[in-house]
Each structure stands twice: as structure tokens, then as C-alpha cells.
Structure 1
Amino acid sequence: MLTLIDDRDLARTLRADVLAGLTVTPKWLPPRWFYDARGSELFEEITRLPEYYPTRAERAVLAGHAPAIARITEAKCLVELGSGSSEKTRLLLDAMLRRGTLGSFVPLDVSASALTAAVGELTAAYPELTVTGVVGDFARHLAYLPEGDSRVVAFLGGTIGNLTPPERTAFLTALRGALHEGEWLLLGADLVKDPAVLVPAYDDAAGVTAEFNRNVLRVINRELGADFDPAAFEHVALWDAGHEWIEMRLRSSRDQVVRIPELDLTVPFAAGEEMRTEISAKFRRAGLAAELAAAGFTLRHWWTDPDGRFGVALAQAG
């Protein structure tokens, strides 16, 4: 296991994010802090909800095209950014191992505990594969990916949509810089579609996404000694047609003041005030191809699920 982030680094980053986000108007918090152990459980539950189509749609693409991806790339090393449990990635591992080229798998994730569990399971399931976990942040540590040739970097789940356009540019440019010419990026991207389909995926009838959204407040309470009352914040999900993204927000249900002792910070919220906790951008093929090209990638192949809801791009570093 290669460890590029430790608990102290995470604590410093959380403090910086909370201080930056809660001292401006409008307020915001980055979505990475949803994912403590409870948040990860809630997200896994979200992926099984009837309203949440992206996981099923992406899996359908990978199930149908993993053999082609293995044949086209002849991958010797598969790298997965933000790997989590790497559950869908097994479709790629199986296809690449059948192809006879794959020798190593490198999952990268910020959660050391989740990564340790995933590496243990994958090592047992694929004894012929060298599995090396990297505890790191894909926004900061791409230059530290293990060297090699014939690498494929998988960035799945539509996570690219959580980045703002400038963040996407920086990420794709850094990734291109970490790859050799001819190596590959496999990118999962949720597509623009009817808001009647999009919004319920982020505002399910059972309220699981609402609990997931409020979990960021519980993380700040635990880690920074804050006194957020999660019940005093309502979950909001809306479609921003201008930016073509979903925004998740937390809306204060009353006038209140939150104290964060670890930052020596007092934060007022007015009744009805909203704080952004996530964007989830949706893409069109042409726009994504242009973003990839600007960073030095060429879109070589494009697949969608049968309903055309989710796209998987295979792009080559030029």
C-alpha cells in the first residue's frame, strides 16, 4: 500500500474546506466530506434505489463492452481513481485477464480503510494479479501513480461531474501529464436528459439521499466539534439548466447560529438560506470530447447504455 494521505492531512484539508466554504456568501461545502463510513453506506444504499439509474446504466455499458475495452487497450495495468469497493471494476478485470495482458491493478482512494478492505478482497479473488492500493486524492496525487506502460486509468461513476469546469480542466490536464502517449482514460459520464428523470435520482422518495446530504454536517460535528443540528436543514436537489448540472443544497429551516470550536468560528444561517454541498454535471458527447481534446486526449470510442442515459468514453493520450 502506498500512502500519500494520512489522518493529519485529511484533518488539515477539512479545516481549510470548512473555513473557506462557510465564510463566504453563498455558503458551500465540498462533496468529499459526505464519505465517512456512514456516508459510504448511505451512498451504497442510494445506488440500489429505483430512482438512481447511473450505477445500473454504467454497469450495463461495462458489461457489454469490457471485452472490447480489453482488446482495444491491451492493458498491462489498470488504475482506478476513486475506487471505493471496485465492484463494477471487476467486469474490466475479468475481461482484461481473459485477454491475457493484465498484470497489475492500482486502486486509488482517499479512504484507507475502504481501500484496505478492497485490496484484501481483490487479492483473494485475483491471485494472479498484483494489486497495489494507493491512499491518495485524485485531484492532487496523479503524479505519484506507479510507473509503467500500457496503462488504462478508469474514472467511473460519473464522478467527473462533481468537478466544476475549471477543476475538470485542471484534473484532465494533470492526468494527461501523468500518462505516456498512447495510454488510455476510461471515463464514465452521466448524460443530459429530462429533469423529470434527473432530479428524482438526487431526491428519492425514501429520503436516503437527504440523509446522505445531511451527513456532511455530522462529519463536521464529529471532527471539528461543531453543533450543527442536521434536522434543522432540509435537503434540496434542483436542475440548473444553464450549467447543465444538478445542485444539491442544504436549506436552513430557521434562523440559527452554528459554532465550530476547532476553527474558533461562528456561522449564522438565516431561515431559508441555502448552502451548496454538491454539483453533478451532466454531459453531451461533443462537449466532453472537446474538454478531453483541450487536455491532450483523443476520444476514440463512445458507448452508452440501451436507454442512452449514461456514457462511457475511451480516450487516448496524444
Structure 2
Amino acid sequence: MSEPELIVRFTAEDAARELRADVRAGLTEDPKWLSPKWFYDAEGSELFERITELPEYYQTRAEQQILQRTAMDIAELTGAGTLVELGSGSSEKTRLLLDALRKHGTLRRFVPLDVSGSALRAAVDAIALDYPELQVRGVVDDFTSGLAALDAGTDRLVAFLGGTIGNLLPAERADFFASIRAALQPGEWLLLGTDLVKDPDRLVRAYDDASGVTAEFNRNVLRVLNRELRADFAPEQFRHVALWNAEQEWIEMRLRAERPMRVELADLALTAEFAEGEEIRTEISAKFRRERVRDELATAGFELRHWWLDDAGDFALSLAVAR
């Protein structure tokens, strides 16, 4: 078994610098916003795992159902020798793809890319142990900028699963798809998971579950700022809000101040004022139609070749080739 590698291109210092810049920008704009990337400290990651098991949150189960049916088709269609995964690393969905590509006989290399060095190290070690014939090379970097630094190849499959693409604004998605296309050669592949437009009430319930786990996940971003920036947010004084934006076809998660507040962020030398009822947008989660996925991929230089749905038609997995 070859030793797994871990290449660090995004350090803790880089993350701290980016956090400071993001928070200063977001809390000085009107309306205020915070990036969803800061949800995922250890507690936030644990809360998100609990979210994926909730009855209201169908996305993880739906995507897994599709992959259980199509992984061998994906292996045969792509013949990929290298699987590049953005996020995740050692999840069951990843292993469905690894198993299918190994069975097909083409897979030689697995390259997971994630911004969290600790999570990625655990994923790399677990995969290397269970797939000893694979060369495993983890890259610690931001998935929106790290692809350009990936080693060149001609038989790569890039997987971006979980519907995470929906967290990017339209202009950010366009840049992201363009960066993937720039990193790939013609004939290489992108496997993309997208949540689909559906009944708004059902969507809102998926982001505002009855047991309150998503509310705690949302408020956790304030705890991250308290710890990392010496802020004095009172998270329990912010109400979790999930809304459907029909014009944009996305869910918005917000935190609503339940009273007037003045929050000090000592490390930024910044004071953030909140009126009663004022909100911070913490996440968008865009929902898609096939036409939008096809058109956005085409603009970036991909051709949509396959489109698979779960039984309920809730979620889509698309396979596109670089032109």
C-alpha cells in the first residue's frame, strides 16, 4: 500500500484571514450576510450530520439512492482513472463511486479536496486503509479556487455531490463551473448533485425541521464568530428563519434579531448594530430545473450527457463532459 499524501494549499492562517474579510464585508453591508462556509466547525459538522438523518431532509437519501443505481453506469461511461471529489472524502456515497470504478478496472487514483485539513486527513487515512491499491492524494484548499492547481490528466471524473452547488450565488456558480472546465481536458467529466424545485412548503420544512436541529446549526455560526473573532453575539437572541424566494428559486436561511443589539467583534475592532427584527442572511440553497443545469454547464463549456432522478423526483445527479 502506498502512503497517502496530504497537500496543504489553504492553511489555518489563510482561513483566519478569509474569515475576517468575509465577516467584515458581510456585517457592514445592508442587508447583512455571512458566508455558509463558516458553519462547519466541529460542532457545526456534527449538527449537519444530524440534519441529514432528519425525516424532513430528503437530499442525502435521495442522492444515495441514485448513486446506488447508477454508480456502475458512471464507471462504464467515464472510464475514469482518477476520481476527484470536492468535499466529503470518506462518505458512503464516495465509496459507491470508488467501488464501481474499481470493479470497472480503471481507477488508479483518488483526489479528495476539502477546506478542512483535519476532516480531510481522517478521510484520506480511511480511504487509503480500505482501498490499498489506490494512490490517495488529499488537497486542503477551497473548492471554489483549488481546482486550477490540480495535477493535469486525461481521464478524470470530478464529483461535486450533496447539492452544495446551490449554496453559491449565480455569478459564483458561473465562476465555479468555469474553473472546473479550465482544470479539465476535453473528454473529462463532471458529476454534479442538484436539489430540484418542488413544493415550497416541503422545502421550507427541510430547512426548518420540527426538532430544531437546523435552527441550532444556523445559530452555530454566531458561536464560531464569538470564538474566532472574540465577538459577543448572544445566539439565543437570534431566531432561525427559512424562507422560499420564488423569484430566485432558492431557500434563504436567516438569523433574525429578537431585540435591538450592539455586537462587538474585538478582533475586527468592529461594532455591528441590529434593530429588532433585522436579519443576517446566512445561506442560500438554490433549487434547480434540468434546463438551468444544462444551460449553466453549457455556458462553462460542458455538455450534459446524463440526468438521473430518485424515485420521488426530488434530486438529480447529472453527468457532463468537457467539450
Ranges in structure 2 where 5+ consecutive residues have no aligned partner: 1-5
The correspondence for 1:52, drawn from 41, 53, 57, is: 57
Inter-partner Cα distance in structure 1 for 2:32 and 2:87: 26
CA distance in 1, matches of 2:70, 2:195: 17
| Partner residue, 1:174 | 179
Q: Equivalents in 1 of 2:240, 2:261: separation in Å?
A: 17
2:278 alignment counterpart: 273
> 2:89–2:124: 8 Å Cα contact kept in structure 1?
no
Structure 1 residue 83 displacement after superposition: 2.4
- C-alpha offsets along residues 83-110 of structure 1, whole Å, 9 cap, x if unaligned? 2543311000000000000001000000
Structure 2 partner of 1:148: 153
SS at match of 2:144: coil
Matched to 2:251, the amino acid is I
Alignment partner, residue 208 of structure 1: 213
Identical aligned residues as a percent: 64
Give the RMSD, CA atoms, in angstroms. 0.7
In structure 1, the residue corresponding to 2:66 is in which secondary structure? helix
Report matched runs for 1:78-93 at 5 Å. Answer: 78-93=83-98
| In structure 1, C-alpha distance between the alignment counterparts of 2:35 and 2:71, rounded to whole Å | 32
Contact in 1 for aligned 2:90/2:126 (Cα 8 Å): no
Look up the match of 2:36.
31
Contact 1:202 1:209 in 2 (8 A): yes
Shift of 1:197: 1.5
8 Å contact kept, 1:255–1:271: yes
| 2:113 is aligned with 1:95 | no
Indicate which of 14, 25, 38 corresponds to 1:20: 25
Residue among 59, 66, 85 paired with 1:61: 66
What's the CA shift for 1:35? 0.2
Contact in 1 for aligned 2:152/2:183 (Cα 8 Å)? no
Matched, 1:111 2:116: yes
Q: For 1:294, which of 284, 288, 299 is the aligned residue? A: 299
CA contact (8 A) 2:71 2:100 kept: yes
- Equivalent position SS for 1:132: strand
1:243-254 superposed matches below 5 A: 243-254=248-259
Q: Deviations over 1:174-204 (max 9, x none)?
A: 1100000000000000000001211111000
Specify the alignment match of 1:126 in structure 2: 131
2:262 corresponds, among 244, 257, 262, to 257
Q: Distance in 1 between matches of 2:92 and 2:279?
A: 34
Give the TM-score of the pair, scaled to structure 2: 0.97
Which residues of structure 1 form unaligned runs of 5+? none
